[in-house]
């Protein structure tokens, strides 16, 4: 397993669960100094991302791009994939799709987390799920053109009413032949929704494509009360070799959260 840390490039997400907020170069430099293997970037859009000098920055620092978040489409533009308005849904697919292409060129997968949206108003959940599935097909196929998967992230009940538990999302992925989609298992969301986090991970098996390395209170692992040993043992049991990516609040500071994240990564993975 490999370690990663989040770098947020979106000022509107300053209060969000991301470790570094001081720009790409500062985030990459800190990640390297602390010994992370990779960074997970939360960019404003594909366009901003393209001009950000990310490829150069990664090469300079010898870092891997672990994944790219697409949530700015929601945070900045209120787009999502299950919106009642077809034009807004199309804009959401286009926003994520452009990121899939840019991230794909850099060898990384894109995350559909907040951009999945939720069913509300006249949009019943039974209508929203097929819209989500259709979008995952389109975006997953686009990722596959770059040799990547698309990462779908079940969120806790306060953020979506589409899929909250890993097993339900896995069932949907299998039932609809979404072969280019894998799960992002965020330990913060799982702590809220799963009865047994290790069992949930084992149940997903090779559908686990990425992990958000966050404690029960969304602080760095070790600053909350999740029993992480059995979680990491479950990941080892399913032969997970992907990233444990720290998507946590910069609490008490970015540096302390980052250091705690990488130290807990080493302690639990013996990495």
The yes or no reply on residue 242 touching ligand LER (CB under 6 A) is no
Rounded to an integer, what distance in angstroms lies between the CA atom of residue 8 and that of residue 18?
6
Region of 46-54, 97-105, 119-127, 153-161 interacting with ligand LER (CB under 6 A): 153-161
The yes or no reply on residue 6 touching ligand LER (CB under 6 A) is no
Region of 94-102, 198-206, 237-245, 246-254 interacting with Mn ion (CB under 5 A): 246-254
Please, what is the minimum distance in Å from the beta carbon of residue 242 to ligand LER? 15
| 29 vs 159 by CB, closer to ligand LER | 159
Residue 162 DSSP class: S
The yes or no reply on residue 153 touching ligand LER (CB under 6 A) is yes
The yes or no reply on residue 186 touching Mn ion (CB under 5 A) is yes
Rounded to an integer, what distance in angstroms lies between the CA atom of residue 2 and that of residue 12?
29
Q: Is 158 exposed, middle or buried (0-12, 13-18, 19+ CB in 10 A)?
A: exposed
The yes or no reply on residue 247 touching ligand LER (CB under 6 A) is yes
Rounded to an integer, what distance in angstroms lies between the CA atom of residue 174 and that of residue 107?
25
Q: Which two tokens stand for residue 203?
A: 């149940």
Region of 57-65, 110-118, 165-173, 200-208 interacting with ligand LER (CB under 6 A): 110-118
Residues 60-99, interacting with ligand LER (CB under 6 A): 69, 71
Region of 60-68, 86-94, 109-117, 143-151 interacting with ligand LER (CB under 6 A): 109-117
- Contacts of 113 by beta carbon, 8 Å cutoff, 6+ apart: 69, 70, 71, 153, 155, 184, 186
SS3 content of the chain, % helix, strand, coil (to 5): 45, 15, 40
Rounded to an integer, what distance in angstroms lies between the CA atom of residue 248 and that of residue 146?
29
The yes or no reply on residue 215 touching Mn ion (CB under 5 A) is no
Among 142, 210, 212, 219, binds Mn ion (CB under 5 A): 212
The yes or no reply on residue 114 touching ligand LER (CB under 6 A) is yes
How many residues touch Mn ion under the rule CB under 5 A: the total is 3
Closest CA to 249 of 5, 19, 3: 19
The yes or no reply on residue 40 touching ligand LER (CB under 6 A) is no
Rounded to an integer, what distance in angstroms lies between the CA atom of residue 89 and that of residue 97?
12
**C-alpha distances in Å from residue 197, one per residue of 204, 222, 260:** 11, 16, 21
The yes or no reply on residue 186 touching ligand LER (CB under 6 A) is yes
Among 92, 93, 135, 155, binds ligand LER (CB under 6 A): 155
How many residues touch ligand LER under the rule CB under 6 A: the total is 11
Rounded to an integer, what distance in angstroms lies between the CA atom of residue 153 and that of residue 101?
19
Residues in the site for Mn ion, rule: CB under 5 A? 186, 212, 247
Q: Which residues contribute to the site for ligand LER (CB under 6 A)?
A: 69, 71, 111, 113-114, 153, 155, 159, 186, 212, 247
């Amino acid at each position: 397993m490999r370690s990663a840390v989040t770098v947020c490039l979106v000022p509107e997400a300053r209060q969000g669960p991301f470790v570094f907020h001081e720009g790409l170069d500062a985030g990459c430099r800190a990640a390297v100094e602390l010994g992370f293997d990779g960074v997970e970037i939360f960019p404003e859009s594909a366009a901003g991302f393209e001009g950000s000098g990310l490829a150069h920055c990664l090469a300079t620092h010898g870092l891997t791009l672990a994944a790219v978040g697409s949530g700015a489409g929601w945070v900045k533009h209120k787009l999502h994939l299950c919106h009642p308005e077809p034009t807004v849904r199309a804009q959401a697919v286009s926003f994520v799709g452009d990121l899939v292409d840019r991230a794909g060129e850099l060898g990384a997968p894109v995350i559909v987390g907040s951009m999945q949206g939720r069913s509300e108003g006249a949009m019943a959940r039974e209508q929203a799920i097929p819209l989500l599935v259709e979008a995952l097909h389109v975006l997953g196929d686009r990722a596959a053109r770059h040799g990547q998967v698309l990462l779908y992230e079940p969120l806790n009940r306060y953020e979506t009413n589409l899929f909250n538990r890993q097993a339900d999302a896995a069932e949907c992925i299998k039932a609809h032949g979404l072969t280019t989609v894998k799960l992002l298992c965020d330990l913060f969301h799982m702590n809220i929704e799963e009865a047994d986090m290790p069992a949930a991970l084992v149940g997903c098996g090779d559908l686990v494509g990425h992990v958000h390395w966050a404690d029960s209170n969304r602080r760095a692992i070790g600053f909350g009360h999740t029993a992480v040993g059995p979680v990491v043992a479950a990941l080892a049991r399913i032969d997970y070799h992907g990233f444990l990516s720290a998507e946590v609040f910069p609490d008490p500071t970015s540096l302390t959260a980052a250091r705690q994240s990488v130290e807990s990564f080493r302690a639990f993975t013996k990495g």
